[in-house]
Every structure is written in C-alpha cells, then in structure tokens.
Structure 1
Amino acid sequence: MKNLKYLLSYCLMLFSFSTNAQTLNLIKNDADALISSTNQKKVLAFKEHHIRGSYPVSIAFYKTTHIVFESPIKYFDAGSNRIICDRVEGVDNVLKLKAAQIGIFETNVTVITHDGKYYSFLVSYNESPNKLNITMAAGLNDDFEQQVSDRPEKIVFSDTYYTETEMIHFSKKMIELSNTSKHKIQHIADKIGKVQFKLIQLATKEGKIILCISMKNSSPLDYGLEYMKFYVRDKTKRKKEVSQEIELKPNFVYVEQEGIPDGRKLGDADASFNFVFMMPKFSIGKDKHFEIDIVERDGSRNMNLKVDYETFYYQMNKL
C-alpha cells in the first residue's frame, strides 16, 4: 500500500511538470508571434514635404520679443509655462513673447492665423537675443532654415481689421473734414490760460466711433500731456447717489503736428496739434454724456470735454 502511494505521487508530479512545460511553451510561442508581428508592423512613411519646420526664436526675461503676422491671430499655444505668450492688447496680429524665469530652457510656440496659415517656433532662452521685432513676411517658406524678416509689416487692430496705413488714411481724412467749417463742431472746448482743447469732429466708420481733437498751446509754457481718458458718464448726479461711468479705450491714436520743426515734441509752446482716436462702438442715452478727461503732467491745467446727446447723434458724420 505504501509503495502504491509513492507511485501515485510520482505520477501526479510528472503530470504537473508536463502541464507546466506545455503552458510555458504556449506562452513562449505567443511571445515569439507577438515579436514577429511587431517587427513586421508597417510604419507611416513621412516625406520631407510632410514635415513643418520650426523657426528658431530667442527670448529674454528683461526684454520682450514681438512677432508680427500678416493676418489676425486665431489660435496660439505655448509648450511651457516658462514663457509668457500673449497677443498684444488692442492689436490682433502681433504676438509678444517673454521669458517667465531666468535660466536655460527650450520649448515651442504654435500659431494659427485667420488666413489659415500655421506657424511653429522653437523658443529658447537668451538674455541678449539677436532679434526683438520679427515680421513673418509674405512668401516666407515654412522651412526652419529660412530666416524671418526684419522689415516693417502692417499692424491689424482689434475689432477693426484695418491696417496701420488704412487707419492713418482715415485719420487724415478726419482732419481734412474738420478743416471744413460746414462740418466742424464749434461748441465743445475747454481752455485754461492760452492752452485750449477742442472737439472738432465726430464720425463713424463701420460702427466704430472716430473723433478728432485739436490742441492749441499759444502760451510760452510747454504743456506736458499726461493722458486723455474717455468715459460715458451720468449727465447729472444727485446727492447721495452713486455716479456711474464706463471707461472706453481707443483702438488707435494718431497725432498730427502742425508746423512743428524736427526735434520738438507734443505739447511744446506756440504749437498746434490734432489728435484722432478710433473708439469701439458705443452709444449714449439722453441722461448720459460722453466725456474726455485731459490731464497735464506735473501741472494743474486739467480739462474736460463733454459731448452731449444732441451733438453725439446729430453732428456725427459717416466716413
């Protein structure tokens, strides 16, 4: 009986070993088949013309790099938070790049513009970049070996899609229109001493508001202009009532200096200037004013121009 027990145990051991060996062989065969299948797998064949190169761009921490595109930017993405990448405020076709930290790194930036063009940039840190203002010129090949252009390029302003040349053309047209007494606004002005600011023209162009303001400094003292700010404000303010105001920011500013020799600057004594501002579309109610605050730098000759409801709507021309 004892011998029979040993015999049965031996047979079970042989059967178990045989079964494990078969299992191992199956696993090995499956692995060999998988390796063979992987080695035979087809790989996509990318040809040279399928690959889009990246333009090399260096950026700094203490300097800002600007890239000008032919068309407004529709999409952009930075590959790392080590860089600051954003559109320039008020301008749709200029991208600004800046290092968010000091140190050697490399990343990428992708840009797609409204005209359907795709741009790729290989961005690296360099505190002394050889290019700070880059123009993606027309006809530039999408090859990383090509160099970007330094020539001036058009600027496209937000919500207008006008180029800088077109904006200057509109501005000059506004000034010409203001020189015609028939269309000139006469009654909206403010004056301190011999310095006067006057709203001389209001116009609209495809929904945008364009205004022309003249400045005449007949005094012997220069007028340093700190800023002009634009608001829609309540016409009247009662006691214990909170006044509401909305600040408006121009999309474009043009300054024409009349008879100013080279070397002189804005606000100099015995000089006249014309300002043209293109504003985003807005309107005012009968209980509102459109107001312009004018502040002197290091001085107190601060002025205010109030445009009433009637002037805003009934003396506005169409360009």
Structure 2
Amino acid sequence: MATPAFAKGKKTVNSADNNVSPDTEQVAEHDLNVYDPDYTDGDKFSGLTRKVGFDRMIPPHALEVCYNKTTHIIFPAEITYVDLGNENLVAGLADGAKNVLRVKSAFKSFKQETNLSVITEDGSYYTFNVKFAKEPLLLSIEMTDFLHDGESVNRPNNAQEIYLERLGSESPMLVKLIMKSIHKQNKREIKHIGSKRFGVQFLLKSIYANNGLLYFHTELKNTSNIPFDIDFVSFKIVDKKVIKRTAMQEQILEPLRAQNYVVVVPAKSSERTVFALEKFTIPDDKQLVIEVAEKEGGRHQSFVVENEDIVRANVIDELSIQ
C-alpha cells in the first residue's frame, strides 16, 4: 500500500519501530497516537491509495441497549434510512412518529460491539457504536440539530450532510438556511395576491428562486375570535377555463420542505410559512392555485398565482442569508 505522508512539516515515526509494514510510507505521528503504537496498515490495496485520516472520521456516539428495556432516540427530522451492524440489534420507527427510532437487543445479552447508522430527511448522518448493558444509563436520547464548518476546530461530531435526491443538487442544510432567512427577514415583495373572508386572510408575501427550487412565503392572519385549525395546504396547477360538467384537470405539486408549518392559527394572531418546491413554470392556459383548508370548518382560503408572478421570482443570491 503506497501511503503518502498526511501533512507536510509534521514529525513522522520510523515504520520499523511501530509495527508498520516496511513497504508503507511514513505514517504521521498524529495517526500513530490515535491508533496506538501497535498500529499496522492491514491488508494491502492495489494501485495508488492513501489511508483515510482521522480528520475524516465522524466520531460515533456511544449507545447502550438491553433486552428488557427499549432505548428511544429522537432526531430533529424524519428518519429515511437505518442500518444495523448485525443481528444483535432490532430497531424500528416508533408508532406514529417518523423521527423517533426505538432500539433494543435481540438477545438477552451479547458481547461483541456493533454499530448503528441513521440518515434523516434534512440530510444529516448519525452514527453510533452500540454495546449491551444490563441497565443502560440513557434510555431516551435527543439528537440536537447543529451546523459545522468542516474546520479542524469544528469537525463533524455525529452528523455529515447528505445530498438527497428530492432536492437535486441543492444542499439540504443550505435549503434550511435559506428558508429560515426568508422567514426571519419577513419581506413582502408581492402585494396583489391573497384572499380574505370570514375574518381570515391568506397572503403570498414573496417568491424566491435558487438552484432549481422555488420558495413561497405565505402568511395566514386570523382576526376572528375562533382559532383556525389547518387541515392542509395544497399547491395545484389547474386549467383557467373549465367547461361545465367536465372534470377539472389538476396537477398537484408537493412541497419538499416547509419552514414553520403550523396546524392552528389562534384567534387574533397570524402565522407565516415558507414552502420549498421544485422549480416549475405554468402554461398560458393554466394557473397555480394555493389553498389552505380549515379542518372541520368552512373558512377555506385560496388565491391564484400566474406564470408571470413565477418568472419574476427574486433570485436568492440577492438575499442576505443569516
């Protein structure tokens, strides 16, 4: 295995004195300190290769499990992938909760350490080393959300950003930051689109575009004395002219992400939501209808967005992402 030195200027240690095969290039002292003096280069690889340095590692969390009790791990986003190291573990989503993973031992005891890996919808990757314990110290664990800059002083601790197919080439973390920034700045760029009746007003405040995605900033105001319980918010492209007694042709657009999606707007208050959708345009004979429906109520609100509104979307590069 041809293994180049990891960093110029670092001290190196003689391979003959550290149980490293003689045909391996000098190993950085840092890596020997990490892997202890008995470190070897293991099996040899074909072609030009280099050992993965410790600075590329995502240190796993320690996790204890047992047979008689279930460990629950709460993640900040919906779980999309779970991998168990071996048959010693059993795991599954908690009933009715897409971001809670329950884990326990499949046997009354096991000696060999194993691992667990999880990917969540926001593009985060989590890894755990798992051991059996008669009485695990922690049975309910919350994995907090965080950002890292990739520098040595702020390395990934338990998550590494994963690019998701639904978001195309866009970074999930950047999408999240953009949506938070739009919501925080709260600019009303559009003043002619909205609906109002029964003491409820539904507005489109702005449309932004970036890297194949469109961001719709909406606001729902409830000036009545009765809370507005949201059943659903829909985005659909429909025909402008619908002949009577014919079915309306609809194309449903599913939002990829939603920032501050609420299920109820209390009386005398308002709530704002930012939706991210795949980029699209509308044919001349069609229009976009955005609708919010009240659960078990009749105060539904909807408004129409024309293609000229879509193509005039603000470029996100002009937005100060904070």
Q: Whole-Å Cα distance in 2 between the matches of residues 170 and 255 of structure 1?
A: 14
| Alpha-carbon offset, residue 104 of structure 1 | 5.4
| Alignment partner, residue 248 of structure 1 | 254
Aligned in 2, Cα 1:76/1:109: closer, same or farther, shift over 3 Å? farther
Indicate conservation of the 8 Å contact 1:292/1:304, yes or no: yes
Equivalent runs, 1:157-168 vs 2, <5 Å: 158=164, 159=167, 160-161=170-171, 162=173, 164-168=176-180
- Among 174, 179, 182, the residue aligned to 1:170: 182
| Alignment partner, residue 217 of structure 2 | 212
> What's the secondary structure of 2:180's corresponding residue?
helix
The size of the alignment, in residue pairs, is 239
| Alpha-carbon offset, residue 247 of structure 1 | 3.1
Aligned in 2, Cα 1:311/1:130: closer, same or farther, shift over 3 Å? same
Q: Whole-Å Cα distance in 2 between the matches of residues 74 and 299 of structure 1?
A: 34
Q: Whole-Å Cα distance in 1 between the matches of residues 295 and 287 of structure 2?
A: 25
| Alignment partner, residue 314 of structure 2 | 317
- Among 101, 110, 113, the residue aligned to 1:97: 101
Provide the TM-score with structure 2 as the length reference: 0.55
Q: Whole-Å Cα distance in 2 between the matches of residues 156 and 111 of structure 1?
A: 13
Q: Whole-Å Cα distance in 2 between the matches of residues 170 and 135 of structure 1?
A: 23
| Alignment partner, residue 272 of structure 1 | 270
| Alpha-carbon offset, residue 243 of structure 1 | 2.2
Write the letter of the residue equivalent to 2:234: K
Q: Whole-Å Cα distance in 1 between the matches of residues 91 and 118 of structure 2?
A: 18
Indicate conservation of the 8 Å contact 1:104/1:124, yes or no: no
Indicate conservation of the 8 Å contact 1:232/1:288, yes or no: yes
Indicate conservation of the 8 Å contact 2:222/2:265, yes or no: yes
Q: Whole-Å Cα distance in 1 between the matches of residues 297 and 81 of structure 2?
A: 45
Per-residue CA deviations over 1:98-129 (Å, capped at 9, x if unaligned) read 3599985778445498x9x9945327699995
| Alignment partner, residue 287 of structure 1 | 285
| Alignment partner, residue 301 of structure 2 | 303
* Structure 2 stretches lacking a partner, 5+ long: 1-19, 22-34, 43-58, 150-156, 317-322
Write the letter of the residue equivalent to 1:122: V
Aligned in 2, Cα 1:167/1:241: closer, same or farther, shift over 3 Å? closer
Write the letter of the residue equivalent to 1:98: R
| Alpha-carbon offset, residue 154 of structure 1 | 10
* Structure 1 stretches lacking a partner, 5+ long: 1-43, 140-148, 179-183, 257-264
| Alignment partner, residue 62 of structure 2 | 55
| Alignment partner, residue 52 of structure 2 | none
Instruction: Kindly indicate which of the two structures has a greater share of residues assigned to helix.
Output: 1
**Higher-Rg member (1/2):** 1
Q: Whole-Å Cα distance in 1 between the matches of residues 102 and 279 of structure 2?
A: 32
Q: Percent identity?
A: 17
Q: Whole-Å Cα distance in 1 between the matches of residues 91 and 239 of structure 2?
A: 43
Indicate conservation of the 8 Å contact 2:93/2:100, yes or no: yes
> What's the secondary structure of 1:168's corresponding residue?
helix
Provide the TM-score with structure 1 as the length reference: 0.55
| Alpha-carbon offset, residue 197 of structure 1 | 0.5
Q: Whole-Å Cα distance in 1 between the matches of residues 145 and 295 of structure 2?
A: 38
Equivalent runs, 1:1-319 vs 2, <5 Å: 55-58=62-65, 64-66=72-74, 77-78=83-84, 79-80=86-87, 82-84=90-92, 97-99=101-103, 108-111=114-117, 119-122=127-130, 129-134=138-143, 158=164, 159=167, 160-161=170-171, 162=173, 164-173=176-185, 175-176=186-187, 178=188, 184-238=189-243, 239-241=245-247, 243-254=249-260, 266-313=264-311, 315-319=312-316
Indicate conservation of the 8 Å contact 1:210/1:276, yes or no: yes
User: Bigger CA drift: 212-221 or 56-65?
Assistant: 56-65
| Alpha-carbon offset, residue 210 of structure 1 | 0.9
